[in-house]
Amino acid sequence: MIPLLSVLLALPLAAPQGRVVKVDGTAVSGNITAAQLDGIVVSGASEDQTIEPADVLSVSLGSGGMLAEAQSFLDKLEFQNAVALLEEAANASDPAWMPVVAKLRHAEALLAWSAFDAGRAGDAVAAFQDWLATYPDHFWVARARIGMARAMGRAGQIDEAASELQEVASFAFEKNLGKQVELAARMARCQVYLEGDRAKLARQRLEGSSGLVATLKAAAQDSASPAGLRNQMLDHWTQSVILLGDAVATDEGTGEAKNFWERTLRNERGIGVDARAAGKIAIAQAAREAGQLREAQFALAEVAATMNAGPDTMARALYTLGEICEELDNTPTSGATYFRRVADRFPASTWATKARKKLGQ
């Protein structure tokens, strides 16, 4: 996603302190003097090191300053301030890496904004297109194309987004970017279908022996794979199972989703905690719709008290618990208590936006 970095970062004094995380779980830090599709070059104290694309999990180029301030705005959902600051940073010429990073984060900030305001999706598409046209050979090309496709989906261009993501998966294979990039594109396609009300299509690609869930499970449990790659595949497997659970609920309702999650939690003991928490939330939701409010309340309280799941999953559990408490006449705890907790602890979550509305904020 960032081409010709070797030109932008040709001068050692202008090169940023960067960090490359490799598929074996190790990290290489130093001055990144090139970050292109044919490899990453890190200049260390004694010699340069070239890292093949297939060996790279992630690349970090520069931080602090306006980038950190913009991230602070994003964490508070102050999208307008974040976007404006990143746009300013993208026009900076010093350090040399700033435009590369800031322009991409500007596009990604617009994508994040589009989850709350669909009208921003078109702006995000245009920002990603501009970045790709400016940096066509950068190592982050796949990252930018996946982001662009997600924005296209939110703009209502579902088929175009799915086609783009299929091309990214093929591109990752052709450029030897690693199986993780191809699988990330396939995951994004399922997200596009689900967000675009095409749950059946999402299920078709997630389910079955050759589906994405099974593929990611095999990758996560492949003892021959490097440790860092297996850890990332475990995260992706966990998220793919959550996507499948959501697709089943959308396609067939909470009753079938409950059956899916009961089977999954019983049979997939190696799955990540986020999926386990999501499963319990879905089972609680089915109990709620069946009028079993106390059972649902106890299940969600267990998730909130004992499961160290990710921010979005915990926010979802707490918000749903707040709604159930409201339905139980705020017994034994006021629903507002949980809505405040969501708003305070997980301010960047879409659930926090809903919680603030419940609180009249």
Q: What's the rounded Cα separation, in Å, for the pair 39 and 56?
A: 9
Q: What's the rounded Cα separation, in Å, for the pair 182 and 344?
A: 36
pLDDT at residue 62 in the model: 76
Residue type, 299: A
316 pLDDT more than 60? yes
Q: What is the pLDDT of residues 123-180, one digit of tens each?
A: 999 999 999 999 999 999 999 999 999 999 999 999 999 999 999 999 999 999 999 9
Q: What is the pLDDT of residues 208-218, one digit of tens each?
A: 999 999 999 99
Q: What's the rounded Cα separation, in Å, for the pair 338 and 8?
A: 49
Please, which residues have CB within 8 angstroms of residue 303's CB and are 6 or more apart in sequence? 277, 280, 281, 284, 309, 314, 317
pLDDT at residue 349 in the model: 87
> How wide is the angle at C-alpha 281 spanned by C-alphas 277 and 287, nearest 5°?
145
Q: What is the pLDDT of residues 208-266, one digit of tens each?
A: 999 999 999 999 999 999 999 999 999 999 999 999 999 999 999 999 999 999 999 99
- Domain residue spans in the chain? 5-60
pLDDT at residue 45 in the model: 63
Nearest residue to 17 via CA among 64, 67, 57: 64
Between 179-195 and 199-206, two packed helices, what is the crossing angle to 10 degrees? Answer: 150
H helices of 1-97, where?
5-8, 65-75, 79-90
Q: Which residues of 167-203 are buried (b: 16+ CB within 10 A; e: fewer)?
A: ebbebbeebebbbbbbbbbbbbbbbbbbebebbebbb
Q: Which CATH class is domain 5-60?
A: mainly beta
Q: What's the rounded Cα separation, in Å, for the pair 139 and 136?
A: 9
Residue 177 backbone dihedrals phi, psi, to 5 degrees: -85, -5
pLDDT at residue 103 in the model: 96
Instruction: Look at residue 144 and give its three-state secondary structure.
Output: helix
